[in-house]
């Protein structure tokens, strides 16, 4: 499956609302997460990369919706 920035950004905004991280089980209230303890990359925060796919430096930890 290929990444389509425009389609996937729209999909992410519909699915996740403003920031996909806020509904991820790995997100911390301090604005960091298990995948990016030093800070979540702008590309993920801006929905330029949907973190259901690997991102450099994520240690294999991907988005998992809070249920």
Mean local confidence (pLDDT), 35-56: 93
Domain borders along the chain are: 1-67
Q: For residue 15, give every residue at least 6 positions away whose Cβ sits within 8 Å of its Cβ, in sequence order, or none.
A: none
pLDDT band, residue 14 (cuts 50/70/90): low
C-beta atoms surrounding 61 within 10 Å: 16
What pLDDT does residue 47 have? 86
pTM over 0.95: no
What pLDDT does residue 2 have? 46
**What confidence tens digit (pLDDT) does each residue in 37-46 have?**
999 999 998 8
Whether the per-residue pLDDT at 25 is higher than 70: the answer is yes
Alpha carbon distance 18, 2 (integer Å): 23
Residue 50 sits at the vertex; the CA angle it makes with 45 and 53, to the nearest 5 degrees, is 130
Rounded to 10 degrees, the C-alpha dihedral 53/8/67/31 comes to: 70
């Amino acid at each position: 499956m290929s990444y389509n920035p425009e389609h996937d950004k729209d999909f992410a905004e519909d699915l996740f609302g403003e920031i996909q991280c806020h509904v991820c089980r790995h997100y911390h209230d301090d604005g960091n997460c298990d995948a990016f303890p030093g800070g979540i990359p702008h590309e993920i925060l801006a929905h330029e990369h949907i973190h259901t796919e690997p991102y450099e430096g994520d240690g294999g930890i991907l988005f998992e919706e809070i249920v």
